[in-house]
Amino acid sequence: MADAEPRKESASCPMDFILRMLMGPWTTYILYNLKSHGPQRFGELKRRVAGISAKMLTERLRTLEGAGLLRRDYEATIPPKVTYSLTKRGHELDGVLNSLAEVGLRWETEDAAARSQRAAELKAAE
Amino acid sequence: MADAEPRKESASCPMDFILRMLMGPWTTYILYNLKSHGPQRFGELKRRVAGISAKMLTERLRTLEGAGLLRRDYEATIPPKVTYSLTKRGHELDGVLNSLAEVGLRWETEDAAARSQRAAELKAAE
DNA sequence: TCTCTTGGTTACGAATTGGTACCTACTGGT
DNA sequence: ACCAGTAGGTACCAATTCGTAACCAAGAGA
C-alpha cells in the first residue's frame, strides 16, 4: 500500500498553491472587499467583513502579504494607521474571482429557475 | 461591536458558495484528476491522489456529489464497482480551474525569472 | 478453509483551528 | 481621571478536523 513517492504530484498542479491561499475561511471576503472598495485600514476592513475576529484578520492579512497578494502600509502616527491594498499580483486574481462569480451567478440563476419551475409543476398538479 | 446585520454580505458574493466547496483540502486534486483522466473508480482515484485517506476521499466525494459537481455510479457487483465522473455542472468549473492554473503558472514563471535574475546580480556583485 | 479484493462505515484519538479575553501604547474627549 | 479607539500580540479553551485502525459483505482463487 505504502506509496513510494511522497506526493510529488502536487508539482503537476500549479493552481494548488493559489487555492491553498484562497482556501482560508475569510480570504475571499478580504480580497473581494479590497477589490471593490479599494485600499482600506484594518478597522475598516474588520467592520466590513463583519464577523471576523481581529486575530483571524491579522493572520489572514499576514498570509496574503507573505504571498505577495497585498501590501501593508504602516504609518507610525498616533494612533497608528495601517492601510492594506492589493498588489499587482493580487489584482491578477480579479479575473479568477470574476469567472468564479460568473459561474456562481449562473448556478444561482439556474437553481432559482429550477425552483420556480418545480413550484409551478406542484401548483399544476393540485 | 455587535453588528446589526448578521452578515448578509455573503449574499453579495456568489462565488462564496463555490469557494466553500473548492476549499476542501483535496477537492482540487479530485476535480483535476477527474477532469484530466476522465471517470474513475474509487480505488483508482485514491491511488492517483496518493496521500488521501479513504475517509477523506469518501467525504469529499459525497460533498461534491451533493453539490451536483459529480455523479456516482454504483454497480452492486461483487466486488462492487463505483465510478465517479464530472457532471455538466462539474465541467463548468474547468474554466475557473484553467484560469487559476494559468495565473499559477505565470507566477511560477515570474518567480523563477526573478530568482535567476537575483542569482545573476549576486554573481555580478562579487 | 483461508485470504484477498472493493468500497465503504464507524470509533477513537491527536492535532490544528479559531474565538474570547486581556495586554500594549498613546491620544482625544468629557 | 477614565473610557474609547487604533492596530495589533498573547494565552487559554473549546470545537472541529483528519488520520488510523478495525470492521463489513460476498465472491474468487489457492
> Angle at CA B59, nearest 5°, toward B57 and B61?
65
B113 interfacial to chain A (CB closer than 8 Å): no
- H helices present in chain B, as ranges: 15-22, 27-37, 42-49, 54-66, 88-91, 94-125
Residue-level pLDDT at A47: 92
Strand order in the sheet with A40-41: A40-41, A81-86, A70-75
Convert the pLDDT of each residue in A61-112 to its tens digit: 999 999 999 999 999 888 899 999 999 999 999 888 888 888 888 988 998 9
Domains of chain A by range and CATH?
Answer: 15-125 (1.10.10.10)
Which of B3, B92, B101 is the closest to A50 by Cβ? B3
The single residue listed with the C-alpha cell 482560508 is A24
Confidence of residue B16 (pLDDT cuts 50, 70, 90): confident
Residue-level pLDDT at A13: 60
Distances (CA, A) of B66 to A25, A27, B2, B59: 21, 24, 34, 10
Convert the pLDDT of each residue in A25-67 to its tens digit: 899 889 988 998 999 999 999 999 888 999 999 999 999 999 9
Residue-level pLDDT at A12: 52
Helix (H, G, I), strand (E, B) or coil at A21: helix
Estimate in Å the CA B1 to C1' C29 gap, whole number. 20
Residue-level pLDDT at A111: 87
Distances (CA, A) of A30 to A6, A23, A25, A39, B63: 34, 12, 10, 11, 25
Which residue of chain A comes nearest to B24, CA vs CA? A23
Q: How many CA atoms lie within 13 A of B63 on its CB side?
A: 20
CB A22 within 8 A of CB B15: no
Residues 18-47/B with CB within 7 Å of nucleic chain D are 24-25
Residue-level pLDDT at A5: 32
Residue-level pLDDT at A97: 81
Mean pLDDT of A109-119: 92
Is the model's pLDDT at B42 over the cut of 90?
A: yes
Convert the pLDDT of each residue in B63-107 to its tens digit: 999 999 999 999 988 889 999 999 999 999 988 888 888 888 898
The answer to whether the beta carbon of residue A89 comes closer than 7 angstroms to any atom of strand D is no
Least reliable range by pLDDT among A13-22, A74-83, B32-41, B82-91: A13-22
Contact between B13 and A101 using a beta-carbon 8 Å cutoff: yes
